[in-house]
Structure 1
């Protein structure tokens, strides 16, 4: 799967606590330099975050034609944020690419953070070369999801908010629920089993990739799951958002 003939793109990962960025080698998916992290401003208003993105971008010597992509911790529909949870509420209704393009003087592509991470896994990571439908699920404070069908991202799925057995899925099956309730790996795997068998029934994925920080301990819970599709840990870890944002930005320049 080729993203573009351009050798490098710049990826930015906007989170509730930090904003990270680095250039990405599009041939390998590797960062070409160490990433830079700047704390997310408080309050995290659009203008304040845009100023940090400008500072971050200006910290690297980027050629004028280098594509720039950034992740955002909310759905992005045609560039616009319909609702927001982890940043200032004033983001609702904001056109993220337009705001950031104005701030840094470069064309910017904006994408949901889970979508960026999922896309990165299909181009460079655990799902590289896999045909058909790939489901990438991140387990953390909540449950993020990305669906990629034969290399094409289906955006803004929000499958962590499926209602299963009368509960919002992430309220019971996210890694934060495991920690909050003191669940054993076996107990938590039982909840994940219910979640993944429901998602598999709805979408019949060819591969399920599990990310988030807890994926480093995949051996403790993935073998306990019993679903039809292979389930594997994510490969790109904390760099997935930056890499995915860069790759999606480059794809728009094809």
Structure 2
């Protein structure tokens, strides 16, 4: 792909659905219709890869060498999935990036789903042009998280698993699922979120918190109840954030992004001996 190319494909794999689109990486706008298919029952690797193949084919003709980014609900280290959320446990320890590349016949950029969404918000959404540390959290079944510093992604932050106030994995108390399980009203849930974000603030001193997840559309019910030094705002990109972030990360990884951040975001080169 030429150095002035501005499009990439983004694929967002979730526990219930897999979606993809062609993205203008300069603006974050979708250049195609978004294609979505249900995640195969059981979430097995071969079945999910086959579904991704279907989505890519459904997107139609794209120029040869168009970057492809895939985001997935797991911690990912050197292309290996180290965990698995809402998919088969057979993903754990799997060289997933290699599996996708062999099956698709394409090089891909393989990233955590929360990282992709957070990077999209930093590039195109609520944290566009914000310098310093931005922390995005997604409040859903658990608490997903992403760290971006001066436009550069710091991958695999699992801030939902922090121990806070003597309680392990504080996402068990502060996620949206925890709110629903305990039948908490907005005020009581906000009190738990105050403890969580207050601890993050003391540890990291970010410039901005972004709150994503489906509940973010109801942000007026709980974000104003929080008392933090750090500004806290709802995510802007909603359901397309993973697609946009995966595409942007893929484009940057091969040097095609026309607005590269301050430092290399994804470096697939290996140091010389």
Given the two structures, how large is their TM-score scaled by the length of structure 1? 0.96
Give SS of 1:86's match.
Answer: coil
Specify the alignment match of 1:103 in structure 2: 103
Residue 263 of structure 2 corresponds to none
2-side partners of 1:221 and 1:5: how far apart?
43
Q: Say which SS state the counterpart of residue 77 (structure 2) adopts.
A: coil
Tell me by how many angstroms 1:26 deviates. Answer: 1.1
Gaps of 5+ in 1: none
Which deviates more from structure 2 when the two are superposed, residues 239-248 or residues 164-173? 164-173
Distance in 1 between the 2:51 and 2:94 partners? 17
Q: Which moved more, 1:59-68 or 1:118-127?
A: 59-68
2:165 maps to 1:165? yes
Q: Summarize deviations over 1:33-57 as a string: whole Å, max 9, x none.
A: 2211111112221111111111111
Q: 2-side partners of 1:97 and 1:143: how far apart?
A: 24
Aligned residue for 1:101, secondary structure, equals helix
* C-alpha separation in 2, matches of 1:54 and 1:104: 7
Q: Give the Cα–Cα distance (whole angstroms) in 1 for the partners of residues 191 and 4 of structure 2.
A: 45
Aligned to 1:43: 42
Match in the other structure for 1:78: 78
Q: Which stretches of structure 1, 4 residues or longer, exceed 2 Å deviation after superposition?
A: none
Counterpart Cα distance in 1 of 2:117 and 2:102: 25
Match of 1:227 in 2: 228
> Aligned residue for 2:211?
210
CA distance in 2, matches of 1:19, 1:222: 30
8 Å CA contact 2:161, 2:171 repeated in 1: yes
TM-score by length of 2: 0.90
Structure 2 spans left out of the alignment, 5+ residues: 256-273
Distance 2:23 2:52 in 1: 17
